Chains A and B, each alone.
Chain A
Amino acid sequence: MLKRLLAATMGAALLWSASAMAAADMGQFRGKTITYIVSTSPGGGYDTYGRLIAKYLQKYLTGSRVVVRNVPGAGHIVGANTIYAAKPDGLTIGMFNTGLIYDQLIKRQGVLFDLAKFSWIGKAADDTRVLMVSKSAPYKTIGDILKVKTPIKFAAAGVGSAAYNDARILADALHLNVQIVPGFTGNEGEMSMLRNEVVAEVGTAESMEQFVKQGHGFFALALSGNPNALPGVPRARDYVKDERGKRLLTLIETLSEIGRLTAGPPGMPAGVLAAEREALDAAMKDPALIAEAKKLDLDLDPASGALVEARIKAALNQPPETVAALKSAAGG
């Protein structure tokens, strides 16, 4: 009995000290202001995710104040440059589009960062990419699209954007006979489909779900994401025949797996990074955050900073032929 009591007391003491240690780590930001950089203008998906995460990071980084700063420009490049150049004290972190991997691989002008060196804190969601086809188009399956003789039109975002690159890569990997019409932002591509100007668009399942629910389109192909998330939708991987295509598709898959990520500048002290990773993990499990995300219609699929780091490094390790393929895709 005494032994058991002793064991219980020791156990409790250990637990207490462990939690005290964790609390000490989380308390290192007491009285400090953390700037959470969102690489887009206010409004829109990144801003909403960013503000939600910032709000709950503040809750778990005891005594801190987390403020959101919008640093838009050059398709997330300016925001990522800003985070990268910040002092690595954990007081400047933020979010940008994973598609910047493309920009780094093709050594795009303006890229001043190395994604492999960021301090990765975690990610909030999967961005499942899909090919959505208009219901009024004469193509009912991906098989129909693979067989077309004359080029069919796909709507895409601006040349150089992540969404544009996704479309080009898909066309390249599957040898689709398509003409990509760039310059569509927001839901303009869907409007263009309603006007029967274009037949399809590549984008995230989340952003196109409503259009499909309204009966205007259908998911013809899932490029990435959890196979169970979109039951009955064919997988792009099953239609890729060559090695080159497979490599390109793997890149899209990796990118969509690590959506809405949070990163800090390179060289953050281990204790600081650990505390912020822990705070983000805890925030993503917070029932209040989950409830808010549900209200905002935001999908959550969190993962740790360590996993993001591993994925990013793998994605950056591409053979020259993939980089060449990307360059030709991005070249328009």
Chain B
Amino acid sequence: MHLDVAFSTLFDLLTTPRLLFLMVIAVPMGVFFGSTPGLGGKLGLVLLIPFVYNMDQLTGAVFLCAMHAVVHTGGSIPSILIGVPGDGPAAATALDGFAMTRKGQAGRALGASFGASTVGGLLGAMFLGLSLPILEPIILNFSPAEFFLLAILGITFIATLSGDSFIKGMIVGLFGLMCAFIGLDPSTGSPRFTFGQIWLWDGLSVIVAVLSMFAVPEMISLGVRGRSEDVSAQTASRLQGTAAVEETVSRKVSYAQIFHGLWDVTQHKWLVLRCSLLVAAIGVIPGLGGDAAAWMAYGHTVQSSKHPERFGKGEVAGVIGAETGSCAKEAGSLLPTLFFGVPGSSGMAIMLGAFLMLGIQPGPTMLTDHINIVWSLIWALVIANIICVIMLIATGPWIGRLGSVKASFLIPYVLVFALLGCYLYGGNWQNLILVMVVGSLGYLFKRHDWPRAPFIIGVILGKIAEDSLQKAIAIFGAGFFLRPISLILIALILASIGFYMWRARRPKIVPSHA
């Protein structure tokens, strides 16, 4: 370990006013990009890259890293307050976060989210630092065979995330998997499910899937209801089952609520630790991607909970698991980007371009020749997360007002940005039609209480599963699953299915008060 370098770089960062100042600017920028559905961190990076062009290596990289580090924390705000996530991982936060808002616990959800994402970010960064010496063997032991099995493990979580109806969840999940196969067949290059439309060759993007499954349905139903909080009281008691506990649903976000959420995080410390490590480890393996990692953290949270039936209905642990996952993965995905030049997430792919532009040449020599940059970036992740949580807690009550914005203001704002995001992502107007079609379907799902999360999991993991299965068979032959790590993963998959079946047979416990 390079402990001397580790601490001297931290000292340098904290005592260089220019760097601190840039991080303080970068954090609200990251929160803004993350919290505006449709913009997202990737666009933020693309827009900010020209500004770092004239900065020196360290300054530019620290600035971008600090911005990127907090994008997901920002993304949790609209997910929780209006049920509109901006990307794949944030959709996991929306499941329980928005349900909490409808129960009048928006502040608690925000507090839990800020706390969990900060701790997740910190633990992820620590994982990054500690795993430097053993990084190479970890990364090199995961091949397409393991990616495939990890994707299958993630797909088994669909069962857990199906809510009350396993059949409905499976149908939606399989539909998501089918949508993942839209586009060019990776092994033959021939178009599938494209109906002669060339713009469908690149498939259904996760961003389009998330925005149409969540942003559009939420906005339609908000339009139907008129105001987001009008239903909260009745919905709260309906959702709670036994509980008419929340008779008076508070619409305001108070510091007390936020601190309640932060306290919740400390009550789930082992969950936070498990999710951070799980996700940072998955994020570190290039090929699986951060979107998958965050959903696996949420899946794990539900599966390991004593009360899986409460998830999706406003369970604070759901917010904590999803947020820890979203933020821990960025640290994990920075590693392969820096050491192999292989980005661990889509955001990191753009970051890689920026690093090259700044003259940082990723590769194993980063460990020997540029270890100070590596540690500076790790610390930048840590410091940005801390600045972010302080800023967000301080402004929490004001942020909370977003939840009671009039529908007539909110709907056009969200829809315009969501559609803009979909357009920018693919660069074609036809995506807008796709959003409307899938969005209407999403609304029907929502209206008739069909789970929407399995669709997202299907879209994210279907592509990974297919691509890695093709590669695994081509490389290792039909016996690809006999590698040691593969066998462990198969055991995990079987355990996951077995655990679900065991729990499904168990007599239902009446949920206690949340």
Q: Chain A residues in contact with chain B, CB under 8 A?
A: 41-44, 47-48, 69-75, 77-78, 81, 109-110, 153, 158-160, 164, 179, 181-184, 186-188, 190-192, 194-195, 197-198, 210, 214, 295-297, 330, 332
CA distance A81 to B452 in the complex (A): 36
CA distance A74 to B187 in the complex (A): 15
CA distance A70 to B46 in the complex (A): 12
CA distance A188 to B140 in the complex (A): 12
Q: Is the pair A73, B426 in contact by a Cβ cutoff of 8 Å?
A: yes
Q: Is the pair A183, B187 in contact by a Cβ cutoff of 8 Å?
A: yes
Q: Is the pair A43, B475 in contact by a Cβ cutoff of 8 Å?
A: no
A81 cross-chain contacts in B, Cβ below 8 A: 198
Of residues A43, A47, A160, which shows the largest number of chain B Cβ atoms within 10 Å of its Cβ? A43
CA distance A210 to B143 in the complex (A): 22
Q: Chain B residues in contact with chain A, CB under 8 A?
A: 46, 139-140, 143-144, 184-189, 191, 198-199, 201-202, 286-287, 340-343, 349-350, 352-353, 356-357, 359, 361, 363-365, 426-428, 467, 470-471, 474-476
Q: Is the pair A158, B359 in contact by a Cβ cutoff of 8 Å?
A: no
CA distance A155 to B340 in the complex (A): 17
CA distance A87 to B86 in the complex (A): 36
Residue of B nearest to A72 (CB): B427
B364 to chain A, nearest CB (A): 6
Q: Is the pair A153, B198 in contact by a Cβ cutoff of 8 Å?
A: no
A181 and B474 in contact (CB under 8 A), knowing A188-B342, A195-B140? yes
A210 cross-chain contacts in B, Cβ below 8 A: 341, 361, 363
B182 to chain A, nearest CB (A): 13
A187 cross-chain contacts in B, Cβ below 8 A: 340-342
B50 to chain A, nearest CB (A): 8
A160 cross-chain contacts in B, Cβ below 8 A: 184, 189
A75 cross-chain contacts in B, Cβ below 8 A: 201
CA distance A159 to B201 in the complex (A): 13
CA distance A164 to B184 in the complex (A): 14
Residue in B46, B185, B188 whose beta carbon sits within 8 Å of that of A43 in the complex? B46
B165 to chain A, nearest CB (A): 35
Further contacts, 14 of them, CB under 8 A, given A181-B474, A188-B286: A42-B350, A43-B353, A44-B349, A44-B353, A71-B427, A74-B201, A75-B201, A159-B184, A182-B470, A183-B470, A190-B340, A190-B342, A191-B139, A214-B364
A43 and B350 in contact (CB under 8 A), knowing A73-B198, A74-B198, A153-B474? yes
Provide a sorted-by-A list of 30 A–B residue pairs whose CB atoms are within 8 angstroms.
A42-B350, A43-B353, A48-B353, A73-B199, A73-B426, A73-B428, A74-B201, A159-B184, A159-B186, A159-B188, A160-B184, A181-B475, A183-B467, A183-B471, A184-B471, A187-B340, A188-B286, A188-B287, A191-B139, A191-B286, A194-B340, A195-B140, A197-B144, A197-B476, A214-B363, A214-B364, A214-B365, A296-B357, A330-B189, A332-B187
CA distance A60 to B471 in the complex (A): 48
Residue in B139, B143, B186, B349 whose beta carbon sits within 8 Å of that of A183 in the complex? B186
B156 to chain A, nearest CB (A): 24
Q: Is the pair B342, A110 in contact by a Cβ cutoff of 8 Å?
A: no
A69 cross-chain contacts in B, Cβ below 8 A: 427
B236 to chain A, nearest CB (A): 42
Q: Is the pair A194, B189 in contact by a Cβ cutoff of 8 Å?
A: no
A110 cross-chain contacts in B, Cβ below 8 A: 198, 201
CA distance A70 to B361 in the complex (A): 25
CA distance A192 to B139 in the complex (A): 11
Q: Is the pair B184, A186 in contact by a Cβ cutoff of 8 Å?
A: no
B475 cross-chain contacts in A, Cβ below 8 A: 153, 181, 192, 197-198
A296 and B356 in contact (CB under 8 A), knowing A70-B427, A179-B474? yes
B18 to chain A, nearest CB (A): 21
A190 cross-chain contacts in B, Cβ below 8 A: 340-342
Residue of B nearest to A71 (CB): B427
Q: Is the pair B202, A73 in contact by a Cβ cutoff of 8 Å?
A: yes
CA distance A21 to B94 in the complex (A): 62
Q: Is the pair B143, A195 in contact by a Cβ cutoff of 8 Å?
A: yes
A330 cross-chain contacts in B, Cβ below 8 A: 189
CA distance A74 to B363 in the complex (A): 30
Q: Is the pair B359, A295 in contact by a Cβ cutoff of 8 Å?
A: yes
CA distance A81 to B471 in the complex (A): 31
Q: Is the pair B286, A72 in contact by a Cβ cutoff of 8 Å?
A: no
Q: Is the pair B353, A72 in contact by a Cβ cutoff of 8 Å?
A: no
Residue of A nearest to B476 (CB): A197
B184 cross-chain contacts in A, Cβ below 8 A: 74, 158-160
CA distance A330 to B184 in the complex (A): 13
Q: Is the pair A78, B199 in contact by a Cβ cutoff of 8 Å?
A: yes
A237 to chain B, nearest CB (A): 28
CA distance A71 to B359 in the complex (A): 27
A179 to chain B, nearest CB (A): 7
Residue in B46, B185, B198, B353 whose beta carbon sits within 8 Å of that of A78 in the complex? B198
Residue in B187, B198, B199, B356 whose beta carbon sits within 8 Å of that of A182 in the complex? B187
B340 cross-chain contacts in A, Cβ below 8 A: 187, 190-191, 194
CA distance A160 to B189 in the complex (A): 6
CA distance A77 to B359 in the complex (A): 31
CA distance A77 to B199 in the complex (A): 10
A157 to chain B, nearest CB (A): 10
B468 to chain A, nearest CB (A): 9
Closest 10 CB pairs of A and B: A160-B189, A159-B189, A74-B201, A110-B198, A43-B350, A181-B474, A43-B353, A42-B46, A187-B342, A183-B186
Residue of A nearest to B473 (CB): A181
Residue of A nearest to B142 (CB): A195
A153 cross-chain contacts in B, Cβ below 8 A: 474-475
Of residues B46, B184, B359, B427, which shows the largest number of chain A Cβ atoms within 10 Å of its Cβ? B427
A188 to chain B, nearest CB (A): 6
A198 cross-chain contacts in B, Cβ below 8 A: 475
CA distance A307 to B273 in the complex (A): 61
B287 cross-chain contacts in A, Cβ below 8 A: 188, 191
B349 cross-chain contacts in A, Cβ below 8 A: 43-44, 186
B312 to chain A, nearest CB (A): 33
Residue in A78, A179, A296 whose beta carbon sits within 8 Å of that of B428 in the complex? A78
B467 cross-chain contacts in A, Cβ below 8 A: 183
Of residues B139, B189, B343, B476, which shows the largest number of chain A Cβ atoms within 10 Å of its Cβ? B189
Residue of B nearest to A161 (CB): B189
B39 to chain A, nearest CB (A): 13
B363 cross-chain contacts in A, Cβ below 8 A: 210, 214
B359 to chain A, nearest CB (A): 7
Residue of A nearest to B467 (CB): A183
B357 cross-chain contacts in A, Cβ below 8 A: 48, 295-296
Residue in B198, B286, B350, B365 whose beta carbon sits within 8 Å of that of A77 in the complex? B198
Q: Is the pair A74, B202 in contact by a Cβ cutoff of 8 Å?
A: yes
Q: Is the pair B191, A197 in contact by a Cβ cutoff of 8 Å?
A: no
CA distance A40 to B186 in the complex (A): 18
B314 to chain A, nearest CB (A): 37
Residue of A nearest to B188 (CB): A332
Q: Is the pair B186, A182 in contact by a Cβ cutoff of 8 Å?
A: yes
CA distance A70 to B191 in the complex (A): 23
Residue of B nearest to A110 (CB): B198
Q: Is the pair B189, A158 in contact by a Cβ cutoff of 8 Å?
A: yes
Residue of B nearest to A210 (CB): B363
B46 cross-chain contacts in A, Cβ below 8 A: 42-43
Residue of A nearest to B356 (CB): A297
CA distance A43 to B352 in the complex (A): 9
A67 to chain B, nearest CB (A): 13
CA distance A190 to B364 in the complex (A): 13
